[in-house]
């Protein structure tokens, strides 16, 4: 090359070197991780970037449909998808033979209590037949008669008599699940001798022992009320567990409906409520409404004595138990 061109190129190189030296030091090195993936080196100045990894939503269930802890220790199931149920372990149906004292909340017309009592009467298993059922409803006797028995109090009385004959241990009205853990929690008990309702009395007594609580389709016509009800129920059960009124192994079961096109969690916020009160998920099951319909259960709207069966068919059964708190 001509000596002049060599001198010009050298001058350009020196200029580039000075320009690079004046810029901040940037490191973009990469290293190979153990799995063979490229992993960016941590940035300088002690800054740490954390990569969030979704927690596993459940483990493989055993023969009874039970799953491992899904909500314990602050773990949260992954979000996303229409209802995200595809990631949740599913077994054929929940079982009841292992329970002896069952509390039914929000029974409305008491048709689920009737269906469960018929199931007990039909089964050949002695352990199942020895189950004692306590059926309760939030409304008073007038509400129940007006909403579900066409304002016919005689029909309501006949229904209560038939329930007792089926083997239901106790029937109560006026029980507010939002106050289950409070000293002021009262109810009216059905008196099978007088064929009427006793005066209000404390719900809890020395004979009140339960190992399963069932609340089917806790819903309200007002937006957001269902989530508040579910949250309050978890809190009240936790109070009763902590003060010894309920055993540490108490199981809470809910049937939660899934209207078309709506995320079930946005309706009930039951996962958040369970985590807040320190409950862990035992398992979930698809809708078993047809099973109970064959035994007389009718899923109805609270304020209108009309079926909402189609909504109930798009539902799941959920079970939780309290997480044992460290002393």
Residue 233 CA to residue 220 CA, distance in Å, equals: 14
Q: Name 1's Cβ contacts closer than 8 Å, sequence gap at least 6.
A: none
Residue 302 CA to residue 306 CA, distance in Å, equals: 8
Question: What's the sign of the alpha-carbon dihedral 283, 288, 291, 294?
Answer: positive
Residue 120 CA to residue 104 CA, distance in Å, equals: 15
pLDDT in single tens digits along all 327 residues of the chain:
444 444 445 555 555 555 555 554 433 333 333 333 333 333 333 333 323 322 222 333 333 343 332 333 333 333 333 344 434 545 578 889 899 999 999 999 999 999 999 988 877 656 556 789 999 999 999 999 999 999 999 999 999 999 999 999 999 999 999 999 998 899 999 999 999 999 999 999 887 789 999 999 887 656 578 899 999 999 999 999 999 999 999 999 999 987 666 556 557 899 999 999 999 999 999 989 889 999 999 876 555 555 555 555 678 999 999 999 876
């Amino acid at each position: 090359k001509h000596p002049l061109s060599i001198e010009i190129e050298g001058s350009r190189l020196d200029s580039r070197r000075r320009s690079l030296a004046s810029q901040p030091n940037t490191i973009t090195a990469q290293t190979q991780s153990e799995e063979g993936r490229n992993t960016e080196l941590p940035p300088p100045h002690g800054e740490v970037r954390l990569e969030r990894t979704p927690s596993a939503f459940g483990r493989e269930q055993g023969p009874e449909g039970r799953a491992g802890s899904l909500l314990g220790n602050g773990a949260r199931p992954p979000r996303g998808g229409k209802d995200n149920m595809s990631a949740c372990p599913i077994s054929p149906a929940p079982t009841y033979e292992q329970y002896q004292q069952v509390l039914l909340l929000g029974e409305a017309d008491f048709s689920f209590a009737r269906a469960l009592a018929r199931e007990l009467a039909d089964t050949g298993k002695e352990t199942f037949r020895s189950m004692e059922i306590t059926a309760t409803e939030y409304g008073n006797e007038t509400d129940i008669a007006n909403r579900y028995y066409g304002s016919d109090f005689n029909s309501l009385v006949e229904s209560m008599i038939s329930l007792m004959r089926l083997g239901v241990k106790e029937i109560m009205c006026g029980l507010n699940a939002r106050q289950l853990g409070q000293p002021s929690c009262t109810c009216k008990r059905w008196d099978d001798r007088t064929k009427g309702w006793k005066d209000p009395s404390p719900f809890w007594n020395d004979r009140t022992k339960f190992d399963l609580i069932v609340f089917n389709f806790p819903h309200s016509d007002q937006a957001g009320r269902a989530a508040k009800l579910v949250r309050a129920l978890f809190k009240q059960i936790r109070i009763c567990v902590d003060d010894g009124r309920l055993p540490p192994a108490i199981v809470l079961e809910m049937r939660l409906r899934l209207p078309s096109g709506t995320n079930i969690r946005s309706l009930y916020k039951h996962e958040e409520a369970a985590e807040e009160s320190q409950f862990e998920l035992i398992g979930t099951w698809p809708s078993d409404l047809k099973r109970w319909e064959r035994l007389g259960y009718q899923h109805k709207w609270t304020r209108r004595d009309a079926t909402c069966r189609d909504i109930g068919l798009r539902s799941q059964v959920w079970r939780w138990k309290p997480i044992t708190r460290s002393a």
